[in-house]
Structure 1
Amino acid sequence: MGIYVIRMPDIGEGIAEVELVAWHVQPGDTVAEDQPIADVMTDKATVEIPAHVHGKVLALGGAVGQVLAVGAELVRLEVEGEGNFKENQAPAPAGQAQAAIESVAKPPAAAVPAPAAPAPSPTPSPVPTPAPARSAAPRAAAVARSPGERPLASPAVRRLAQDRGIDLRFVHGSGPAGQIRHEDLDVYMAGAGQPAGQGGSQYVQRHGEEQIPVIGLRRKIAQKMQEAKRRIPHFSYVEEIDVTELEQLRQRLNQLHGATRGKLTLLPFLARAMVLALRDFPQINARYDDEAGTVTRYEAVHLGVATQTDAGLMVPVLRHAESLDLWSCAAAITRVAEGARTGKAAREELSGSTITLTSLGALGGIASTPVINHPEVAIVGVNRMVQRPMFGSDGQVVARQLMNLSSSFDHRVVDGMDAARFIQAMRALLETPALLFVE
């Protein structure tokens, strides 16, 4: 038998180190050739690392959240034959392999609750013993119920609890199968130290704490946002846009072609307006290398689409948005966003954007100050669409669909006047949507 060491491979693109974000094996497991053993994250994407050979896992090279250099030991295997580990190789620091095994076999220390201090021995006290019902009264946080579990209680008890402001999820039930009775409400109120009718569990003090390690994609997001705010002098510009005609056009196109060509959201219209407006403002479709002191302007519009995923915010890239019609653009946005949400986006789909579009949909609020996706120099944010009364050209009040664009720019590269003119150009296109189709 021999020992085979799998080292962190060179992923390319000048990447010198990666972060461990998941292990697919544990010490003692048997792995086959090409079986995934770990996921690592670069600045651009999550990469799956496979095993090179068959073998039994002896030790792991690090814990989730640890940063490894290219060439560092990733996994140590026991294999048939000689293996690739030589005795004259520099050994790992004493205890490193065992520490790695323990660190991945156990949750992080921050997630392990500290052991409870031993209860002090009871001592005689002249204080009278409380009544049994009051001493047995549970505190609000003492009742353990699984998420979504509905406490057992009669309609009369539920009405009384509602009148008293009591959340039944935190009340101990003394009846069969934990059913909550009227007297349980009295005991709960007494135990919470509040008279009946003056509040419930929402007023009980809570003291829990939880430490969440910032690792994986969340760490990359934090680093990227910090870098963007540290390096880029942002300024934001907000403009209100009347999208009544645009929304009517969108709904009409969906009625005519939605079944055969797919439904259109507002995003492909916004992308089209950006593409056309950028022709007159090339300094906004650019990337700024502040280390070299150069600005690169692009004829192609590689549109970043800010996408919320279960793991955090990602920005997949829609390549050559200038060459796409509305339906092609809509399909491409759906494809790259879905790839980001499912973790199936290719590395080249997560980098290289020249300007970014971000939208929170119905949660977009009135205005926002989006953070520029470094090293780009601009980001266009879409806020919530609302219907408001407006004065028409004849002085009559009419209902109109209004929406704000909240955009941020790099003031080192983009002057305030140019930013305002760019957004006004987009506004003119969106408020007269026929112009979106005129070259």
Structure 2
Amino acid sequence: MLEVKLHDIGEGMTEGEVIHYLVKVGDSVMTDQPLVEVQTDKMVAELTSPCSGIVKEIRIEVGQTVQVGTSLLYIEIDEAARADRKSHVETKQSAEKKAIPSIKLGEKSPHMPFKRVLAAPYTRKIARDNNINIEDVKASDSSGRITEDDVFRFLQGKQADTEPNKDSRLTEVSQEIPNEIPFRGIRKKIAEKMTKSLFTIPHVTHFDEVNMTNLFKMREQLKADGESVSVSAFLIKALVISLKDFPIFNAELDEENNRILLKKNYHIGIATNTESGLIVPVIHDVDKKSIKEINQDVKELTAKAIAGKLRPFEMQNSTFTVSNVGPLGSTGATPIINYPETALIAFHKTKKQPIVNEQDEIVIGHIMTLSMAFDHRVADGGTAIAFTNRFASLIEQPHKLMMEMI
């Protein structure tokens, strides 16, 4: 009998919440088949079977939070499979590669009785709450990812290729909204971390404006030359240069030892809005990367966060966090610091508005607002203002930003 335990999915993890079992007692399982979904403080992860066999006992109930090392379930090992694995590992792997035909997304294979469905945990929950086998739901997205709308359509006896009209769809959704939402998983972890941050750190928020006009012109020139780079990549690069000039904001307060730790690495967290909640993937060693490389990292990590495919190390060790909420329509906010960091900066909507240029002429400019929350135990308002002034100068005069990278 083999114990399947909650193991350390990521650095520093101590506990996890069991949110859904993908198997039940009596099921036959194969090696690497997903068994259970576990919520950590940063992600939803699937624990897979270490062997082939039969599920004999499930020890921990859904909704329970347990420590790393706790036994979740027991599997009776398939002895024949274990003996074969020990004596013919390489042969077996080679044979499987030849024997398993290519499988299109959504198809089942005789060698793979379980089906991997692309869907967010909340989408899976909607399906479970309505007694729907999510494998039966057809995805409307070309990527094969099942959405909440796909599940609601299935509830009405319709599939993705039969799109209901807007009014009826709104009615369907309103009928299916529950009158209560379980407070657990990522939502609960976010609440715990935000509460700790707000009640531990004396927050101060500094607001400022940045003239984006020249940066936008430079981006248009790059586009004309076949180079498409997001505004975020420029903002992040300018931030790291500014953090090197003001290292107090790339720091962590160690109260126990009465010291402020100035971090030598520049790992930038990117606050990302997903179906499951706020996720913060991390771009590591930003100071060593070009704007083009940063742009690629932002795209890849954001896509992974939305799809729920981030690996643990891609969400660890951030030293400063950025929240780009401008595309959502935000004009201002008082953000909460990503504890135990010292500061967080939020970029808000960029608006066209009249400005006075250096020749005292009234022209139309692109003005972005930002809000910077910082730990008043570690830094003061004057330092925060100097920091954002340095950042703004790099963005407003992009040639200075280029010079800093030479």
Q: Give the alignment's TM-score, normalised by structure 2.
A: 0.73
**Separation of aligned partners in 1, 2:7 and 2:334:** 40
- 1:183 corresponds to: none
Shift of 1:145: 7.1
- 1:64 corresponds to: 62
- 1:248 corresponds to: 217
Q: Does 1:228 align with 2:226?
A: no
- 1:132 corresponds to: none
- 1:149 corresponds to: 164
Is contact 2:324-2:348 (8 Å) kept?
yes
**Compared CA separation, residues 13 and 333, structure 1 to 2 (3 A):** closer
Shift of 1:398: 1.3
Shift of 1:292: 4.0
Shift of 1:57: 1.9
- The one-letter code matched in structure 1 to 2:352 is Q
**Separation of aligned partners in 1, 2:16 and 2:168:** 48
- 1:406 corresponds to: 371
CA RMSD for the aligned pairs? 3.1
**Stretches of structure 2 lacking an aligned partner (at least 5 in a row):** 80-124, 131-154
- 1:6 corresponds to: 4
- The one-letter code matched in structure 2 to 1:72 is T
Is contact 1:19-1:42 (8 Å) kept?
yes
**Separation of aligned partners in 2, 1:234 and 1:283:** 15
**Separation of aligned partners in 1, 2:370 and 2:74:** 53
- Any residues of structure 2 matched to 1:308-319 within 5 Å, and which? 308-319=273-284
Is contact 1:364-1:382 (8 Å) kept?
no
**Compared CA separation, residues 230 and 33, structure 1 to 2 (3 A):** same
**Separation of aligned partners in 1, 2:335 and 2:322:** 10
**Separation of aligned partners in 1, 2:17 and 2:296:** 33
Equivalent position SS for 2:247: coil
- Any residues of structure 2 matched to 1:48-87 within 5 Å, and which? 48-79=46-77
Equivalent position SS for 2:249: coil
- 2:207 corresponds to: 238
**Separation of aligned partners in 2, 1:358 and 1:297:** 22
**Stretches of structure 1 lacking an aligned partner (at least 5 in a row):** 82-106, 113-143, 152-166, 172-201
- 1:290 corresponds to: 255
Shift of 1:218: 1.8
- Any residues of structure 2 matched to 1:251-262 within 5 Å, and which? 251-258=220-227
Out of 328, 332, 350, which is 1:363 matched to?
328
Out of 304, 307, 311, which is 1:342 matched to?
307
Q: Give the alignment's TM-score, normalised by structure 1.
A: 0.68
**Separation of aligned partners in 1, 2:373 and 2:178:** 36
- The one-letter code matched in structure 2 to 1:255 is A
Is contact 1:370-1:408 (8 Å) kept?
yes
- The one-letter code matched in structure 2 to 1:232 is I
Shift of 1:266: 0.9
- Any residues of structure 2 matched to 1:136-215 within 5 Å, and which? 149-150=164-165, 210-215=179-184
Equivalent position SS for 2:317: coil
Identify which of structures 1 and 2 has the higher relative contact order when contacts are C-alpha pairs closer than 8 Å and 6+ apart: 2
Is contact 2:275-2:306 (8 Å) kept?
yes
- 2:362 corresponds to: 397
Shift of 1:18: 1.5
Shift of 1:53: 3.1
**Separation of aligned partners in 2, 1:361 and 1:298:** 28
**Separation of aligned partners in 2, 1:56 and 1:421:** 63
Is contact 1:388-1:402 (8 Å) kept?
yes
Greater radius of gyration (CA): 1
Is contact 2:202-2:377 (8 Å) kept?
yes
**Compared CA separation, residues 215 and 414, structure 1 to 2 (3 A):** same
Q: 1:346-382: per-residue Cα shift (whole Å, max 9, x none)?
A: 2111010111111123224221111111110011110
Is contact 1:44-1:351 (8 Å) kept?
no
Out of 363, 381, 387, which is 2:352 matched to?
387
**Compared CA separation, residues 54 and 393, structure 1 to 2 (3 A):** closer
**Separation of aligned partners in 1, 2:244 and 2:13:** 34
- 1:36 corresponds to: 34
Is contact 2:3-2:72 (8 Å) kept?
yes
Out of 322, 338, 360, which is 1:373 matched to?
338
Is contact 1:145-1:169 (8 Å) kept?
no
